[in-house]
Amino acid sequence: MVILSPRQWESLWDWMGNPEAFGDKEFWSQVGNRIMNADVLNPAYEEFFADKRMLDICVEGQNRGIVVTPLLKTDEVLNDPHLQERGTFTEVELASGEIGRIASGFFELDGSRHGFTSRAPKLGEHNGFAFTSDRIERKKSVEEIELPLTGVRVLDFGIGGVGVETSRLLGEYGADVIKVESRTYPDFIRLVALSETSPSFASSSRSKRSFGCNVKTEEGLEIIKKLLEKSDVLVENSASGVMDSLGLGFETLKLINPEIVMVSSQLVGSSGPNSHWTGYGPTTQTYGGLLHLWDYDDDDPPATNGTIFPDHAAGRLCALAGISALIGRETQSSPTHTEVAQVEVVVNIIAEQLLKEDLASGSTGPKGNFHPQRFPRGPYQCAGEEQWVVISIETTSQWQALVNAMGSPEWAEQEILSTLEGRMENTELINNNLSQWVGSQNRDDVFHILQKAGVPCGPMLVGMEMLDNIHLCARGWNLEIDQPGVGYMKLEGPAWESETMGGPLTFPSPDLAEHTVEIANEILKMDSATIENLIERGILEI
């Protein structure tokens, strides 16, 4: 369960019976106050939910507008009625007579699933097969167009993570991205720092312009429709049905612009019995089975994490889907609706585990750092506070390289430890001694010693360290901007680069409605008097 907005909190408080202890509406509606008082709230939640069933809680909570999803195990994901109805899995003959269910793909194009096409080939199955390529000829040379999406216009209706990440990626590679928003219905990620620009918003909405328009008015809607006539892509990740209720569903878009590409992403997709459910990254992990696996086998209650995965992964997939649709538009001039259900991003990423569970019930589950083909494996603490490296030994030669790097101590030279089976039988001996050797040294020294010896090893970096990491800086991974209202920031850099195109187009995220007048004049050809009138009446915002 994730409670962010005041409306969500008020709905939960009402469901809990309006407990007097949390009756100060102004105080408890602030997410920061709830975070600071988690030690008070969590016991109240536990008591309230203790006599209720997991799925009943989710159904009731979602009907009340509360973001809550079930923590499903892998077998429950495979048999979830919503995912079954959506065709999230498809049956595959893996070998003669052996059938298993595999995730059917990340993407839906115009309601048709695109992903799985055939089983993995047998060894040598396609020897002698002639492969052909139907490549689309370049219409422009590299010299004529520096960034591949130059000339593409995107209307960004994204909120939070997925949609804004999608349009940001398109903007960095040349598209003119116009974020449509208003102060009545702002992107909530703007406000998490109690201002109109938070660091998260500055990162995800850089390289965009902002157009302030009240789409819920008749005139505002007509203005957006005129913008759509002159646009190529619309990106949105609102709850299912929101765009239709605004008068901007795909069927309407097709009438406005016969070549439009619509990119949508909802929690569990736009079809199926739970399509009205809403959520955030952490609640997607639970529904998709990831959080169940991402745990130790003896944790009760399950561990949680602070990541918003798969928001940014889904955003990147949506960007690829949108680009694919734009390429397809060159050969067939027709509108395209591409969809990426966020829970299916998780499902497809852990598809191997789900297939394993389908073939052998009970074979998957939380195992912490255990791996059946690798040991030693896991994080080992170095000298200093919260300094760690991760080591993963797969082969006999890697083990011997580790032994040599440690100076060939007597305990490690035992013949029994030269095999995986022997090491698995002596995990305590190895972990204790390896921890002692690692723990006496600096993290970076351990990392370089073991890498030089050919041992798979990496340092555990926190965010601040990544920003100044020598290797990442040398690769141009980090990006520096001066964000008005926030200050000097370092952000992750381009998603990809190529010698045949220029670097990403990057500029600070906009203030809310910063470019309204500019866009109304430049694209919609409105005169100053018309623009001023619309602003005075609250149709447009500045």
- For the stretch 248-289, pLDDT in tens is 999 999 999 999 999 999 999 999 999 999 999 999 999 999
**Please, what is the average pLDDT of the chain?**
93
Report the pLDDT value the prediction gives residue 418, as an integer from 0 to 100. 96
Q: What is the mean pLDDT of residues 237-254?
A: 96
Domain covering 369-497+504-511, topology: formyl-coa transferase, domain 3 (3.30.1540)
Q: How many whole angstroms separate alpha carbon 171 and alpha carbon 506?
A: 8
Nearest one of 156, 233, 173, 146 to 510, comparing CA atoms: 156
- What's the pLDDT tens digit per position in 2-30? 999 899 999 999 999 999 999 999 999 99
Q: Are 261 and 155 a contacting pair, CB within 8 Å? A: no
**Res 145 pLDDT > 70:** no
Q: Write the single-letter amino acid at 369.
A: N
- Going by pLDDT thresholds of 50, 70 and 90, the confidence category of residue 463 is confident
Judged by average pLDDT, the poorest of 92-101, 160-169, 360-369, 514-523 is 92-101
- What's the pLDDT tens digit per position in 387-430? 999 999 999 999 999 999 999 999 999 999 999 999 999 999 99
Per domain, the residue ranges of the chain are 6-68, 369-497+504-511
Q: How many whole angstroms separate alpha carbon 410 and alpha carbon 433?
A: 11
Q: How many whole angstroms separate alpha carbon 203 and alpha carbon 56?
A: 37
- Going by pLDDT thresholds of 50, 70 and 90, the confidence category of residue 193 is low
**Res 298 pLDDT > 80:** no
Q: What is the mean pLDDT of residues 71-88?
A: 98
Q: Write the single-letter amino acid at 81.
A: P
**Res 495 pLDDT > 80:** no
Q: Enumerate the H helices of 332-390 as residue ranges.
A: 342-349, 351-359
**Res 192 pLDDT > 90:** no
**Res 171 pLDDT > 80:** yes
Judged by average pLDDT, the poorest of 54-68, 106-120, 136-150, 436-450 is 136-150
- Going by pLDDT thresholds of 50, 70 and 90, the confidence category of residue 344 is very high
Report the pLDDT value the prediction gives residue 134, as an integer from 0 to 100. 59
Q: Cα–chain-centroid distance for residue 287?
A: 14
Q: Which residue has the higher pLDDT, 187 or 301?
A: 187
Report the pLDDT value the prediction gives residue 350, as an integer from 0 to 100. 98
Q: Are 88 and 271 a contacting pair, CB within 8 Å? A: no
